[in-house]
């Protein structure tokens, strides 16, 4: 089963550095209307190169929040039926691999994990 990744860009925090676009070898992002846009989400590997590059753009005390569906869910839930979720443990491990540490693991959303990361220095 192919992993489906939902890619969201926080335009309030985007500094228009284009590093995410330069990092992507899969043509997922393009520069349109003076901002990065997701144009080919189904091509995402996900190799995390875009997140590795964003470390340079993140403020010294900046943090990254990731909200993702849990594997659980109702029998007819979209994310469960189509495999549209990433296990929290996988998110934590992959973020650790690219230089982030887990700051908070919040558990208040019924069907989603909510993790917050900062740069590991």
Rounded to an integer, what distance in angstroms lies between the CA atom of residue 97 and that of residue 90?
A: 10
- Mean pLDDT, range 42-58, rounded to an integer: 73
Torsion of CA 65, 40, 4, 80, to 10 degrees: 90
Looking up tokens 């470390």 gives 55
Boundaries of every domain in the chain? 1-57, 59-121
More confident residue, 114 or 68: 114
In this predicted structure, what is the pLDDT of residue 1?
41
In this predicted structure, what is the pLDDT of residue 38?
84
3-class SS of residue 119: strand
Express each pLDDT in 91-115 by its tens digit: 888 888 878 889 999 988 887 889 9
Phi first, then psi: give them for residue 81, nearest 5 degrees.
Answer: -60, -40
Tokens of 94: 């992959």
| Averaged pLDDT of the chain | 78
Q: CATH top-level class for 1-57?
A: alpha beta
- Mean pLDDT, range 16-44, rounded to an integer: 84
């Amino acid at each position: 089963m192919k992993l489906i990744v939902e890619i969201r860009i926080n335009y309030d925090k985007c500094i228009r550095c284009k590093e995410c676009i330069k990092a992507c070898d899969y043509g997922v992002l393009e520069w349109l209307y003076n901002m990065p846009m997701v144009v080919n989400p189904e091509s995402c590997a996900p190799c995390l190169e875009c997140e590795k590059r964003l470390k340079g753009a993140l403020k010294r005390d900046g943090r990254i929040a990731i909200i993702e569906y849990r594997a659980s869910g109702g029998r007819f839930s979209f994310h469960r039926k189509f495999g549209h979720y990433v296990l929290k443990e996988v998110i934590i491990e992959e973020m650790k691999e690219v230089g982030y540490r887990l700051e908070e693991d919040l558990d208040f959303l019924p069907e989603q994990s909510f993790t917050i990361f900062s740069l590991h220095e």
